[in-house]
Amino acid sequence: MDNNALIRGVSSYHPEHKVDNEFFIEHFKKQGEDISGLLETTGRKSRYLSDDEAENIVTMGYQAAKKVLEKVYVKPSQIGLLIFSSGTPEFMLPPNSVKLHAMLGIGQKCCVFDLNANCAGMVVALDQASRAMQNNQNIKYALIVGSDQLNRYSRYNEALAYSNFGDSACAMILENVYHTDRGLLDSEYYTNSSNHDKMVFPAKGLSSVMRDRSLSTQDKLVHWIPFDYSGAFHSAAVSIEEILFRNNLTKQDIKRYFLSQFAWKSINEVCNELGEDISKFTFIGDEYGYTGTTSPMLACEKAMAENELQSGDYAIFWTVGAGTTCACSLYRF
């Protein structure tokens, strides 16, 4: 491969307000519901939730982006591609990416757009940005930013959503490098849209929010109908096996797995299906909760910070978005 996009740095931002499990246990106990088993299944211990009404996904994304630019010594004027991923966008017009472009002072010669694949967004963005850079030598650096505030839009009586989500933003810098065998090597997707009506935001659709003045607050928030999501995580093992076969690799070649942090139990199930070592699966969902689009990248940030990845190491990114749609990527650091 002549050129590819290499991850130069990953940084994150989390609100200061930290909330532990006891708050949610007491909250649902008052509704006659015991969620201790749910929290054990998901692996939650704490999560960071914004208590600042002025804070939104753009301001959080800005904080993460500033950190990663400073970390890798890249100037905003050097960015040729900016992708903003969110399932809880603050703006429809202009794109949130344009807001961020202005806040960071990025130059005019830059492709800028939003991407909404819900929780699969940043893995999809890594794939799309890498392929764009492989085919466009004029893009030297790309900035991928993901940011979600799913807790803010959750119904107080839906335990799986309200107790599970945490707020975060994550930013990643890619550099277009020549004469390399590293970077994104392959990707695999799986979509089963039979669950398209099980998790909906806004619950009655955006047009209803604008048109129906009598619409209740409940119907403007996330509506989550419980459903069997095990098929999505089963597809992870299938996609991983397929992508390894296509690239003449074995599971022994994979150094780290960065999976959706939706539930610790689900990560264990994927690990068991693959016959893998659970220590290769980075889990950060106990500290940060389920953060939507950023969750696999927060796991990647942790592994990089703890020097668990060396040049030439292979890693798998896999995650799932509402609907249901899944994204899997093979990457070489």
8 A C-beta contact, residue 69 and residue 98: no
Residue 1 has pLDDT above 80, yes or no: no
Tens of pLDDT along 263-318? 999 999 999 999 999 999 999 999 999 999 999 999 999 999 999 999 999 999 99
At 252, is the secondary structure helix, strand, or coil? Answer: helix
Of 63-77, 208-222, 226-240, give the range with the top mean pLDDT.
Answer: 63-77
Cβ neighbors of 70 (< 8 A, separation 6 or more) are none
Angle at 84 between CA 78 and CA 86, to 5 degrees: 165
Tens of pLDDT along 28-61? 999 999 999 999 999 999 999 999 999 999 999 9
Tens of pLDDT along 115-128? 999 999 999 999 99
Rounded Cα–Cα distance for residues 186 and 321 (Å): 19
Rounded Cα–Cα distance for residues 326 and 320 (Å): 4
Cβ neighbors of 164 (< 8 A, separation 6 or more) are 42, 44, 262, 289, 290
All domains of the chain in start order, with CATH: 3-180 (3.40.47.10), 184-332 (3.40.47.10)
pLDDT value for 227: 83
Average per-residue pLDDT in the chain? 96
Strands 314-321 and 254-259: parallel
Tens of pLDDT along 99-157? 999 999 999 999 999 999 999 999 999 999 999 999 999 999 999 999 999 999 999 99
The encoded tokens of residue 90 equal 């603050």
